[in-house]
């Protein structure tokens, strides 16, 4: 019997006494829901993002939400994505990216990823747009790029495409799924602030966490205004405003059928501390990545993850060179787990799932060959700020031993 005890956990949030103290302060304050703490978090998040924007850029407005999923629905809704419209996105993502498009009633058009990077292929987006100009099959209103593992998509080209194929009556929006890309710095600013809107996730495993939570960013004041109202019941006043402004607290108007997507102060308190640790957490992830890269570059049966400028290194996507191995990815992953290494898979392409397969007969692995070929060779291995160098070396040892044992002769 193999020793099944986990030696290296897959992921662990970087939480210490500072977060504990911040939460306790809010709990004792008597104000638990969205209020001053959340506004401060939004302001500090915006300040962080604005520092990196090109000098000619408008500033970012940040709205705290209870998840990336909620933020994505808000952004799609504010951009007018609804029944009768369509959105181009990648099948290589977590399901919520595409599910949100369905939630607002629009059609999903999947576009394959690049051969190496896991990110949506901008040239293939253009092919879809050209084809659609001819056959007018869809009313394409948005593109959702996902910066997989924190490695930024070809945003320059994607922004150009959105502009080129927009018309006076029909703007094509770019909404970034920035769930992995905090903080991915480019010369256009941080990923998540480049498109018309960008959505971050603060889920427990993400690079900045509040347990559950998210932030939606935009430079467009009218989108910001709509999202702010829709975030809380379609109300023209926030609860904080109702209880702190001299205007009577029971007076408000409802201007649309809104959602309930606000982030409570207890969680924002965690977020504010996490935000201060951004640089140190990033540096530690980067350090572990360098240990991994150095070791794995020596092995002929693995390929290190793609890397681009400003990569946030949220995940370490280790790729098996299957032609060098006598076992497949699943068997390799199982052996890693048996040897105490926590692993995960990012992502099962959406065309593998019953709902998505049944939705459109073209959602097959044959139509998205890059997504499929990356999926069947990728294992996500431990990468988190507080993991020790020893944990990284333990992981490397296990990978090396399995690869040597099952190497083709």
Ligand X SMILES: *Cc1c(COP(=O)(O)O)cnc(C)c1O
Q: Does 104 bind ligand X (CB under 6 A)?
A: no
**Interface pick for ligand X out of 104, 106, 146, 162 (rule CB under 6 A):** 146
For residue 296, give the 3-state DSSP assignment: helix
Cβ proximity of 382 and 315 under 8 Å: no
Q: Which is nearer to ligand X, 67 or 374 (CB)?
A: 67
Is 176 or 394 the residue whose CB approaches ligand X more closely? Answer: 176
- Which one of 43-51, 149-157, 176-184, 321-329 is the stretch in contact with ligand X (CB under 6 A)? 176-184
* Out of 73, 74, 128, 179, the residue judged to bind ligand X by CB under 6 A: 179
Closer to ligand X at the Cβ: 110 or 296? 110
Q: Does 68 bind ligand X (CB under 6 A)?
A: yes
Stretch that binds ligand X, among 67-75, 152-160, 216-224, 322-330 (CB under 6 A): 67-75
Q: How far is the CB of 153 from ligand X (least distance, A)?
A: 12
Residue 189 or 214: which CB sits closer to ligand X?
214
Mark the segment that binds ligand X (CB under 6 A) among 92-100, 219-227, 331-339, 390-398. Answer: 92-100
- What is the bridge-based pairing of β-strands 107-110 and 86-89? parallel
- Residue 209 in contact with residue 274, Cβ under 8 Å? yes
- Per rule CB under 6 A, is residue 151 in the interface with ligand X? no
Least distance in Å: CB of 70 to ligand X? 7
Among residues 145, 198, 214, 258, which is the contact residue for ligand X, using CB under 6 A? Answer: 214
Residue 180 in contact with ligand X, rule: CB under 6 A: yes
Measured from the CB of residue 148, what is the shortest distance to ligand X in angstroms?
7
E-assigned strand segments in 183-298: 185-186, 189-190, 197-201, 214-218
Taking the C-alpha atoms of residue 406 and residue 147, their distance in angstroms, rounded to an integer, is 33
Residue 166, both tokens: 């927009």
Reduced to 3 DSSP states, what percent helix, strand and coil does the chain have, rounded to the nearest 5? 45, 15, 40
State which H helix or E strand residue 372 sits in.
helix 369-375
Beta bridge partners of 201: 214
Tell which one of 45, 48, 94, 301 touches ligand X (CB under 6 A). Answer: 94
**203 forms part of the interface with ligand X (CB under 6 A):** yes
Question: What's the chain's length in residues?
Answer: 409
121-126 contact pairs (CB < 8 A, 24+): 121/370, 122/153, 122/154, 122/157, 122/158, 122/161, 123/157, 125/88, 125/158, 125/161, 126/161
Question: Residue 343 or 396: which CB sits closer to ligand X?
Answer: 343
- Residue 368 contacts ligand X per CB under 6 A: no
Q: Is 313 in the site for ligand X (CB under 6 A)?
A: no
Alpha-carbon gap, residue 273 to 269, rounded angstroms: 7
Q: 35 exposed, middle or buried (CB, 10 Å; 0-12, 13-18, 19+)?
A: buried
Element (H, E) at 64: strand 61-65
195 binds ligand X (CB under 6 A): no
What residues numbered 5-64 form the site for ligand X, per CB under 6 A? none
Q: Does 77 bind ligand X (CB under 6 A)?
A: no
- Contacting positions for ligand X (CB under 6 A): 67-69, 93-94, 96-97, 146, 177, 179-180, 201, 203, 214
């Amino acid at each position: 019997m193999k020793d099944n005890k986990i030696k290296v956990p897959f992921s662990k949030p970087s939480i210490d006494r500072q977060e504990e103290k911040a939460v306790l302060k809010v709990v004792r304050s008597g104000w638990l829901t969205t209020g001053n703490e959340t506004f401060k978090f939004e302001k500090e998040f915006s300040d962080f993002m604005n520092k990196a924007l090109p000098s000619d850029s408008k500033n970012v407005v940040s709205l705290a939400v209870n998840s990336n999923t909620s933020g994505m629905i808000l952004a799609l809704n504010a951009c007018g994505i609804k029944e009768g419209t369509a959105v181009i996105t990648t099948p290589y993502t977590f399901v919520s990216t595409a599910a949100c498009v369905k939630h607002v009633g629009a059609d999903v058009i999947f576009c394959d990823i690049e051969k190496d990077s896991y990110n949506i292929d901008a040239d293939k987006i253009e092919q879809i747009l050209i084809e659609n100009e001819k056959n007018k099959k869809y009313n394409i209103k948005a593109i959702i790029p996902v910066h997989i593992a924190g490695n930024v998509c070809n945003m320059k080209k994607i922004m150009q495409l959105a502009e080129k194929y927009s018309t006076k009556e029909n703007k094509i929006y770019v909404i970034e799924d920035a769930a992995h890309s905090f903080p991915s710095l480019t010369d256009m600013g941080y990923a998540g602030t480049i498109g018309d809107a960008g959505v971050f996730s603060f889920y427990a495993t993400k690079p900045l966490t509040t347990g559950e939570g998210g932030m939606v960013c935009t430079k467009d004041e009218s989108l910001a205004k709509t999202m702010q109202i829709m975030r809380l019941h379609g109300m023209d006043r926030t609860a904080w405003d109702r209880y702190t402004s001299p205007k009577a607290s029971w007076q408000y108007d409802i201007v649309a059928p809104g959602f309930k997507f606000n982030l409570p102060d207890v969680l924002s308190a965690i977020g504010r501390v996490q935000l201060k640790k951004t640089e140190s957490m990033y540096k530690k992830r980067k350090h572990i990545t360098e240990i991994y890269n150095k070791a794995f570059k020596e092995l002929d049966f693995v390929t290190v993850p793609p890397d681009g400028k400003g990569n946030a290194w949220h995940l370490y996507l280790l790729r098996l060179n299957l032609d060098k191995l006598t076992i497949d990815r699943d068997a390799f992953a199982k052996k890693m787990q048996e040897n105490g290494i926590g692993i995960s898979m990012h992502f099962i392409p959406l065309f593998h799932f019953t709902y998505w397969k049944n939705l459109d007969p073209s959602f097959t692995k044959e139509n998205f060959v890059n997504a499929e070929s990356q999926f069947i060779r990728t294992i996500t291995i431990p990468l988190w700020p507080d993991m020790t160098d020893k944990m990284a070396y333990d992981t490397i040892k296990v990978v090396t031993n399995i690869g040597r044992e099952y190497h083709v002769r």
